[in-house]
Structure 1
Amino acid sequence: MMHLNAFVMPNGHHEAAWRHPSTDPHRARTFQHYVDIARTAERGRLDSIFLADGVALRGNVKHNSHSHFEPLTLLSALAASTVHIGLIATASTTYNEPYHLARKFASLDHLSGGRAGWNIVTSAGIDEARNFTLAKRPSHDARYDRAEEFVEVVKGRLAKYGPTPDEIKILPGISPILGRTEAEARAREAELNALIIPDYGLRQLSEMLDHDVTGYPLDGPLPDVGSFTEGGQSRFDLVVGLTRREDLTIRQLLEQLAGGRGHRVFAGTPVQVADELEAWFRGGAADGLNVMPPTLPGGLDDFVDLVVPELQRRGLFRTEYAGTTLREHYGLARPVNRNRVKEPA
């Protein structure tokens, strides 16, 4: 069966979602907003909800609605308002210590009845380093060396106790923009893109590239940003490759990135979106998808009410939960308790 995870941003994944008439940025600051989203995901029998996080306030707050709660706190509260849905939080290996995170995630896991998950990041931003009294961020290699050791110290020694290769699930991101017809879906995409504030996108693009591009003409080419960064290297390579491959202007690049920051954005009917997900799944490219609604809560409502039933009709997605834990949703075996006292022979 395909796995589906709801990747939740306060107002949705499109950077202009907070300006769209279907969203309410003020409601995104309330607990009930997230309760409704989590219950919608659970109604759709999704595996989990996932909250991204960074440990710095972005410098372009003037042009967006910022209402990100600390994810472990929010998910602990949501555990009491849901029964089945997995609860995945982002936490940095660069600016935490293993004991603290192990304790926090173990607490969430016990309080939720086995539904906790950890999204591991190394925090590439310069502002994040400054928030922890560092004059500069650690190098890319240093961050990843620490992350590897960190993980071994925390979730166990992966090579000895961890999952086998066929138990590792790959869930790339997709932001589906739905319409009753393909033309309606593309019109919705254009409506969102028309609300883009270039100053916001330029600052975000500058962070992705680790290079200030705010002073260049929007309808001109991207300047030479080099071929290496100590920041987020995979996103850097993706953006530079996209620009060169499609010969995009800065304005065109901003539109390409506005819906999913480099993740797949797909506008179409529920059947077309289901076709896209099925192609990824059956082609072996993914075990499922991180669903990134362009707007919330409406984008997730549409996906659950229109796409999930189509996937269920095709026999690709569960109609009921098989268990109550995140491990059961992913079909993973429960590890042996190493502290269990063996029965005498």
Structure 2
Amino acid sequence: MRRTVIIGDIHGCFDELVGLLEKVELAEDDLLVSVGDLVDRGPKPLDVVNLFRGRPNSVAVMGNHERKHVRGIYSYAQEITRLQAGDGYADMVEWMRTLPYYFENDHVRVVHAGLVPGIPLADQREEILCGSTRGERELQTLFPDSFWHDHYTDAKPIVFGHHVTGPEPLIRDNRILGLDTGACHGGVLTALSLPDFMIHSVPARADHWSQVRDQWQLPVLKTKPWHDYTWPELAREITRFSPTSDAPTTAWLTAVEQWSTDLRSMLPALVTAAHTTATRLDTDRLQQHPAAPYLFQARRNRLDLSSLTEQCTTPRKTIALATALQLNVPEFPR
């Protein structure tokens, strides 16, 4: 008999997914369905996506984590996934754009996060189905003292993920089934097979999110736009990450802080160099100079440390002026 096998939130836990499918004894003609959140927090998000993309008879619904990638909303977890996926990231996101917000067949309805009972799936708001922040707020407004599924009365089972239920799935009357059992946090990965209503699970091999977060912190930090932060923004980023960083990351952030300090300490020398250059060049050569706006200010005695500080508000602007005035600049930490 052809089964429908529904998997809870996978979050990049590819090895656990493979182990679970082996335990389920997934057949070629079985329909494999993901409740969404294939990616983020785990070690192998691209492998998980490629399994669903490459296997016939497979469906994944849009989770809030896929939606973040599709909409270009990057928090720490999404930045890590982007680096993990490497050259495959853009293609992965294009595939995510095609994901449906719900799935339904003769046996079951599947959404990632929730729905408003009594409204057909096709008329549900996408934000609610996938569990975006706005969708969560809307459900809380509608059901301030209960869960949305407390009000679900249809006979057809509804399966969802999104909220970790603990080490065991949420099962109520074989109609309401929550399958997010926290695999990426060291819990278990859970599957439901239908129509036999069998629960299958495998334990996580590690607290993946804790490990991935530490492993990828420095690579993610190195992708941040340090050259384009304003000086206060740069200082805030260093302060934000320093307390939670491991030794290599702390050392790198210290080097970035020193780089920032060295750049800002160049401002008096830049003022002097601008005045010297403005005095040395005639007007035609001054107009052609890459630092012309600053040089004309210097010629008119309108460039001092205070005014230059107001203009060189980022490392990039400071480096550009120093380079134009042929001054050596400190190298950004590798």
Same fold, TM-score > 0.5, yes or no:
no
For normalisation by structure 1, the TM-score amounts to 0.27
For the pair shown, the structure with the greater C-alpha radius of gyration is 2
